[in-house]
Structure 1
Amino acid sequence: MAVPKAACSSVKAALAALDPLQAHDLAETLGQKQVHAIYPTMRFRRHRWDFLENHYRFTVVRDPLKRLLAVYTNRVEGLGILSHCRKIRRGRVHLPTEPDPDYFFQNLSAYIATSSDIKHHTLPTALFTGTDWSAYNSVFRTNEMADLGAELSAHTGRDVVIPHFNSSDRHLHLGDLSVQTQRVLRVLLEDEYTHIAPFFDNPFERRHVHAVA
């Protein structure tokens, strides 16, 4: 199950190179748009999942804060996705297309309502993975792509290397944001950190404990 902004494009490209339905020489050169056209990212549906119980089932997850910050650095800042938003371009919604990080995250709900791209990439992880981690044979963190490659190699008998797509030139950190923005993100990501607790600690809890101490 693919999760947007969690090595999604990279994993799909690796699977395309293994897919007998794809020409091998073409699969190795597929771009991001092509792999998403071949393998659309779908929300988790239990009835579809149970049908595949005899398959090797895995997903890749990312720290929720880093995933959300990457939406800004990659989609907003890097690709300028908001400049193509029809609602903004036609004047139906008055939002800046090049917001600074604080403005973007403090007005995230407005951007989600305006841009389907922003909405898709900021939806909670649970909508794509489901809520039961035991349903998976393996769950990999985004820094474990070498492990995923080794696992896929073992299953397929092929040498699998996960390519690296969607790397942002700039990395945004929690400390780069205003205190008000940090408060907004803490509330926004609370449920997501509860869901993903087996794999990632909640950085807002650590900051709160340190502040109290």
Structure 2
Amino acid sequence: MVIRVDSHRLAYMAVPKAACSSVKAALAAIDPLQAENNASAFKQQQVHAIYPTVRFRPHRWSILENHYCFTVVRDPLKRLLAVYTNRVEGLGILSHSPKIRRGRVHLPTEPDPDYFFQNLSAYIATSSDIKHHALPTELFTGADWSVYDRVFRTSEMDDLGVALSEHTRRDVVIPHFNSSDRRLQLSDLSPQTQRVLGVLLEEEYAHLAPFFDNPFHQPRMHAVA
């Protein structure tokens, strides 16, 4: 289902690892249907039960012409690096994988970043949690940006709060969830891993070209006459 707050004519498509916990919490706080749950709505573990993240379906989105339609996107590299720092390193999610625990798949549950990204396809096949958070943005936003009144970057959460406040005439505050203690950088990874990620994220950056530059593309050198 689309995440909707019909009382305020809001429609939101969530992208995993793109501030979706924070946005869902902000919406729950102003949604009359969640009034009795407001005490728990700001807890990260509750907001995903209230508003599940689903893939984009054009036929569901096309009926929302009277709503303020928006989504939030994140730089593809930063989003994928956060899968490691938050889900793997921070939450230890791989230790809960039934396939690994039962010995059906032989992968370390505490891989270093290079091993994880060089074997990302294996981890996606092994862990539904990793798969969900690493899926391409386009599966959650659709390919056509024109269906949205606005697409916000994760760096524009203050702008989102202002936009929602103006639209709803309510004081909308976007809380901050899922901040990892460690900031993993591209330069922290081996050259081989960087090459793997460059290929892996090529289509993702093409889809998000209106919002982010591809860091794997070297600037073109202009010939000197």
Counterpart Cα distance in 2 of 1:167 and 1:111:
22
Q: Deviations over 1:133-168 (max 9, x none)?
A: 011001000010000000000011111110000000
Structure 1 residue 88 and structure 2 residue 100: aligned? Answer: yes
Number of the residue aligned with 1:164 = 176
Number of the residue aligned with 2:28 = 16
Identity of aligned residues (%): 80
Q: TM-score, normalised by structure 1?
A: 0.95
Amino acid paired to 2:213? D
Q: Deviations over 1:92-128 (max 9, x none)?
A: 0000000000000000000000000000000000000
**Does the 8 A contact of 1:6 with 1:142 survive in 2?**
yes
- Superposed CA RMSD in Å reads 1.3
Deviation (angstroms), 1:24: 6.1
Counterpart Cα distance in 2 of 1:30 and 1:50:
29
Q: TM-score, normalised by structure 2?
A: 0.90
Number of residue pairs aligned between Structure 1 and Structure 2: 209
Amino acid paired to 1:133? W
Counterpart among 55, 74, 79 of residue 67 in structure 2: 55
Compared with structure 1, are the counterparts of its residues 45 and 27 closer, same or farther at alpha carbon in structure 2 (3 Å cutoff)? farther
Number of the residue aligned with 1:140 = 152
Compared with structure 1, are the counterparts of its residues 160 and 197 closer, same or farther at alpha carbon in structure 2 (3 Å cutoff)? same
| Structure with the larger RCO, 1 or 2 (CA within 8 Å, 6+ apart) | 1
Structure 2: state its 5+ residue gaps. Answer: 1-12
Deviation (angstroms), 1:54: 1.4
Counterpart Cα distance in 2 of 1:97 and 1:157:
47
Counterpart Cα distance in 1 of 2:157 and 2:168:
16
Number of the residue aligned with 1:102 = 114
Compared with structure 1, are the counterparts of its residues 140 and 27 closer, same or farther at alpha carbon in structure 2 (3 Å cutoff)? farther
Structure 1: state its 5+ residue gaps. Answer: none
More helix per residue: 1 or 2?
A: 1
Compared with structure 1, are the counterparts of its residues 131 and 47 closer, same or farther at alpha carbon in structure 2 (3 Å cutoff)? same
